[in-house]
C-alpha cells in the first residue's frame, strides 16, 4: 500500500451500489470503465471492494452487465481532494451479443448530463493482477493523469449532438445492420431446424430451439429500437456525409464501390452502381483528349451524387425489415404449433 501516492485509506475498503434514482454529488471523482465483454471490468470492481460474493463478474460470456451501474468506493479518499467521494461506473461490454454498442454509448452519453470531466488523452497502461492491492494501485494510477480535456461523450452533450450525427455514427449504424443481419440468419437456421419432422418427437430439443429463437427475437427488438434513432441519418445530406467512414468492402459490397474519375461532369448510374453490383452507369467526361468545341450531351441539371454508405444502409434496412417481419411470423407459427401439440 506504500505506492498509493494519491489515495488515503480511512478504513476497510468496500463498494456500495448507488440506486439509479440517487443523484451523484456535483463535486466527485467519477471513473468510467469501458471494454469488451469479459475484459475484467466487473472483476476489477469486485477486487477493489475486496468482495467476490458480489457476483457482478459472473456469466461474462453472456454480458452480465446490461446497464450502467454506479458504485461508491467507501473509505478511500483522494489526498488532494479529501472531500470528493470516488465513484466507479461499470458499463456493458463492447461486442456484447444482446446489447448494441450504440445503446451502450447512448447510456454513457445520457449520464454526461452531469457534466463531469473525463480523461481523454495521455492515457497510461497499467497491469491489473486481479487482487485487492492491485486494484488499489490501478485506482491510484488513474488519479495521476493530469489531462482534463473533454471526453468524447461529454463534448457531444455540450454541443447537443446525437450519437447518429457523430463521426462514428455511420460505423455504429452499420454495426446495427450487421447485428440485425446475423440475428436474422440465426433465426433462419432455427426455422430450418424447427421445420425438421424429427422435431415432433423431440419435444425437449424443440423447446430449446424455441427458447433460442425467442432470445434472438428479443435481441432483434433491441436492435430495431436502436435503428429508429438512425432514421434521420438516411435522409440527411451535406458535409456530414463526407466524414462518414465507409464499411469494409468484403463485408458490405459485392465488389468495391465504383470510384468515379475527377473529370466526371455528369453521372447517371443505375441504382445498384453505388453498391458495385452492376456496370458503371452512363458517364460523360471532359479530359485532356476531349474535343472542347463539342458540347457534351449534359442534362440541364446534374443530379446530386449519392453517398455509397447511405445507399447501402437504405437498401439493406428495407430488405432486413421485410426479413425481420417474415421471421417474426415464422417463429410465431412455430410457437402456436407447439402450444397446440401440448
If the chain, 342 residues long, is cut into consecutive pieces of 10 residues, what is the mean pLDDT of each piece? Answer: 79 89 85 72 86 61 58 91 88 52 52 44 65 88 63 52 59 73 82 81 86 83 76 45 36 34 34 34 40 50 54 61 60 58 56
> Residue 129: what pLDDT?
83
Q: Given the C-alpha cell 493482477, which residue does it identify? A: 129
What is d(CA 195, CA 44) in angstroms, rounded to the nearest whole number? 45
Q: Which of 200, 217, 232 is the last residue of a domain?
A: 232
Q: What is the pTM of this model?
A: 0.44
Q: Count structural domains, the chain.
A: 2
Q: Do 311 and 241 meet the contact criterion of CB atoms below 8 Å apart?
A: no
Q: Do 266 and 331 meet the contact criterion of CB atoms below 8 Å apart?
A: no
As to burial, measured by CB atoms within 10 angstroms (0-12 exposed, 13-18 middle, 19+ buried), residue 159 is exposed
Q: Does residue 216 sit in the same domain as residue 76?
A: no
Kindly compute the dihedral angle of the four CA atoms of residues 62, 66, 72, 77, in this order, to the nearest 10 degrees: 70
3-state helix, strand, coil in the chain (%, to 5): 45, 15, 40
Nearest to 179 by CA among 220, 211, 209: 220
3-class secondary structure, 120: coil
- Domain ranges, residue 76: 7-160
* Domain assignment of residue 264, yes or no: no
* Domain assignment of residue 262, yes or no: no
* Domain assignment of residue 340, yes or no: no
Q: Does residue 16 sit in the same domain as residue 119?
A: yes
* Domain assignment of residue 337, yes or no: no
Q: Do 157 and 113 meet the contact criterion of CB atoms below 8 Å apart?
A: yes
Amino acid at each position: 500500500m506504500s505506492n498509493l501516492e494519491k489515495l488515503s485509506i480511512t478504513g476497510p475498503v468496500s463498494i456500495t451500489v448507488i440506486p439509479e434514482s440517487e443523484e451523484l454529488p456535483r463535486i466527485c471523482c467519477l471513473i468510467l470503465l469501458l471494454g469488451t465483454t469479459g475484459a475484467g471490468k466487473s472483476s476489477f470492481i469486485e477486487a477493489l471492494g475486496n468482495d467476490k460474493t458480489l457476483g457482478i463478474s459472473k456469466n461474462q460470456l453472456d454480458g452480465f452487465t446490461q446497464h450502467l451501474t454506479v458504485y461508491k468506493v467507501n473509505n478511500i479518499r483522494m489526498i488532494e481532494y479529501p472531500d470528493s467521494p470516488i465513484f466507479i461506473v461499470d458499463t456493458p461490454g463492447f461486442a456484447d451479443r444482446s446489447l448494441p454498442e450504440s445503446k451502450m454509448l447512448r447510456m454513457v452519453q445520457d449520464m454526461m448530463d452531469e457534466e463531469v470531466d473525463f480523461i481523454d488523452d495521455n492515457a497510461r497502461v497499467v497491469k491489473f493482477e486481479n487482487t485487492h492491492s492491485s486494484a488499489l494501485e490501478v485506482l491510484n494510477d488513474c488519479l495521476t493523469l493530469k489531462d482534463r480535456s473533454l471526453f468524447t461523450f461529454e463534448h457531444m452533450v455540450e454541443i447537443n449532438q446525437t450519437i447518429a450525427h457523430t463521426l462514428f455514427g455511420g460505423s455504429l449504424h452499420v454495426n446495427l445492420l450487421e447485428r440485425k443481419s446475423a440475428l436474422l440468419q440465426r433465426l433462419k437456421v432455427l426455422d430450418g431446424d424447427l421445420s425438421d419432422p424429427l422435431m415432433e418427437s423431440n419435444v425437449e430439443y424443440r423447446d430449446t430451439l424455441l427458447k433460442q429463437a425467442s432470445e434472438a427475437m428479443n435481441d432483434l427488438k433491441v436492435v430495431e429500437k436502436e435503428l429508429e434513432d438512425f432514421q434521420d441519418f438516411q435522409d440527411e445530406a451535406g458535409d456530414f456525409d463526407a466524414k462518414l467512414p465507409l464499411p469494409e468492402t468484403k463485408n458490405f459490397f459485392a465488389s468495391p464501390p465504383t470510384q468515379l474519375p475527377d473529370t466526371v461532369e455528369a453521372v447517371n448510374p443505375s441504382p445498384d452502381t453505388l453498391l458495385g453490383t452492376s456496370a458503371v452507369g452512363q458517364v460523360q467526361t471532359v479530359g485532356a483528349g476531349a474535343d472542347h468545341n463539342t458540347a457534351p450531351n449534359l442534362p440541364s441539371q446534374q443530379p446530386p451524387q449519392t453517398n455509397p454508405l447511405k445507399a447501402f444502409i437504405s437498401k439493406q434496412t428495407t430488405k432486413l425489415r421485410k426479413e425481420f417481419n417474415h421471421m417474426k411470423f415464422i417463429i410465431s407459427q412455430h410457437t402456436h404449433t407447439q402450444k397446440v401439440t401440448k
